[in-house]
């Protein structure tokens, strides 16, 4: 069974939220023309949605739907080019 680690889920959450929050701040600035209000909205959204995404990601990781393990590799049975081939 293959699962993503908790730190990987957290790092994905943070990187995605950076992009999302920047777009939210940009939209808020276009509407309000106030940088301080745009930063406040973006900051609030950043914190709340990191937590929501992290728990969403962990929930999805509990389902086995279309999430298959990688094939094992047989290093003693390499091709002539030196690359291992997968065991079937």
Report pTM. 0.52
Average pLDDT score over the chain? 78
Asked whether residue 34 is domain-assigned, the answer is: yes
The residue ranking higher by pLDDT, 61 or 36, is 36
Asked whether residue 1 is domain-assigned, the answer is: no
Asked whether residue 52 is domain-assigned, the answer is: yes
Over the stretch 15-47, which tens digit does the pLDDT of each residue have?
888 899 999 999 999 999 999 999 999 999 888
How many domains is the chain partitioned into structurally? 1
Neighbours of 40 (CB within 10 A): 13
Q: How many CA atoms lie within 13 A of 87 on its CB side?
A: 9
Asked whether residue 12 is domain-assigned, the answer is: yes
Range(s) of the domain holding residue 76:
6-86
pLDDT of residue 73: 55
In the chain, which residue ranges form alpha helices assigned H by DSSP?
A: 6-32, 35-61
Asked if pLDDT for residue 78 goes beyond 60, the answer is no
């Amino acid at each position: 069974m293959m699962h993503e680690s908790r730190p990987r889920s957290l790092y994905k959450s943070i990187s995605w939220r950076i992009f999302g929050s920047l777009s939210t701040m940009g939209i808020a600035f276009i509407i309000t023309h106030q940088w301080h209000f745009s930063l406040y909205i973006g900051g609030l959204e950043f914190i709340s949605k990191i937590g929501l995404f992290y728990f969403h990601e962990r929930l999805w990781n509990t389902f086995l739907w279309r999430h298959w393990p990688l094939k094992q590799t047989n290093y003693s049975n390499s091709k002539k080019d030196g690359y291992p081939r997968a065991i079937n």
